């Protein structure tokens, strides 16, 4: 049996201090395509499917001290307080983050994640798949990685894992411990009980 988790998207259009809208390139068809590819990553190994729920375009004016362009981590937490998850999870779509190497953020307790725009669907889908993994209770696999000589095999396995914190590999595997943790996650318990 496949567990289906609905995903609602909010494409955030920011206004600057003068009230002018900043660019926002996310569009509904692209968000749908990115989700389908990210969902396929999860479906093949876990029988978890993330299905498209809703898409909205929302204009936000950030409070004083919080930068909208690029968005900071504090700005992300502000947006989480304003854009709650509905029945499933919510994905906030923004242009860019500070620092630029960060392509997504997650709050498992709120069931909300954020993904930045990228023109290439493959990498953006992997970033979304990675952030959905955090919502399923997974941490980065390389948090305690030993980078000493002789650990090349373990390092290569971590780099091919969907939950690697660096550049994501197209391999996007999960290990047995991760699969076990996902099965016990709050989201799976919520949507798997029928």
In 3-state terms, what secondary structure has residue 117?
Answer: coil
Q: What is the pLDDT of residue 153?
A: 74
Instruction: Using the predicted structure, report yes or no on whether residue 34 has a pLDDT greater than 70.
Output: yes
Q: Is the pLDDT of residue 14 over 60?
A: yes
pLDDT category of residue 192 using cuts at 50, 70 and 90 = confident
HEC sequence for 149-179:
CCCHHHHHHHHCECCCCCCCCCCCECCHHHH
Q: What is the pLDDT of residues 126-176, one digit of tens each?
A: 999 999 999 999 999 887 766 666 666 776 778 888 999 877 777 778 999
In Å, how far are 58, 78, 101, 183 from 187, measured between CA atoms? 26, 23, 28, 9
Q: What is the model's pLDDT at position 128?
A: 97
For residue range 65-120, what is the model confidence (pLDDT) as tens digits? 998 889 999 999 999 999 999 999 999 999 999 988 899 999 999 999 999 999 99
Quick check: 8 and 54 in contact, CB under 8 A? yes
pLDDT at 61 over 70: yes
From CA 1, how far away is CA 4, in angstroms rounded? 9
Quote the pTM value: 0.93
Confidence of residue 45 (pLDDT cuts 50, 70, 90): confident
HSE-CB for 7 with a 13 A CA cutoff: 28
pLDDT at 194 over 60: no
Q: How many CB atoms lie within 10 A of CB 185?
A: 18
Q: What is the pLDDT, as a whole number, of residue 60?
A: 95
Average pLDDT rounded to a whole number, residues 189-193: 84
CATH code given to domain 3-192: 3.40.390.10
Helix axes of 121-135 and 28-46: crossing angle, nearest 10 degrees = 60
Query: Can you give the pLDDT at residue 147?
Result: 64
In the chain, where the domains are located? 3-192
Confirm if 178 and 140 have CB atoms less than 8 A apart.
Answer: no
Q: What are phi and psi of 166, to 5 degrees?
A: -95, -155
């Amino acid at each position: 049996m496949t567990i289906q988790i609905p995903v609602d998207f909010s494409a955030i259009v920011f206004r600057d201090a003068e009230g002018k809208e900043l660019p926002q390139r996310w569009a509904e068809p692209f968000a749908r395509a990115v989700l389908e590819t990210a969902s396929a990553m999860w479906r093949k190994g876990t029988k978890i499917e993330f299905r498209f729920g809703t898409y909205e375009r929302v204009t936000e004016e950030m409070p004083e001290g919080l930068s909208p362009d690029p968005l900071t981590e504090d700005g992300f937490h502000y947006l989480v307080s304003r854009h709650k998850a509905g029945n499933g999870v919510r994905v906030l779509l923004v242009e860019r983050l500070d620092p630029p190497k960060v392509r997504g953020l997650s709050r498992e307790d709120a069931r909300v994640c954020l993904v930045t725009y990228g023109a290439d669907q493959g990498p953006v889908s992997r970033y979304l798949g990675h952030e959905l993994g955090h919502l399923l209770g997974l941490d980065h696999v390389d948090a305690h990685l030993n980078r000493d000589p002789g650990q090349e095999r373990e390092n290569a396995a971590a780099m091919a894992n969907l939950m690697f914190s660096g550049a994501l590999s197209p391999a996007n595997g999960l290990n047995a411990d991760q699969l076990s943790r996902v099965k016990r996650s709050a989201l799976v318990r919520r949507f798997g009980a029928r």
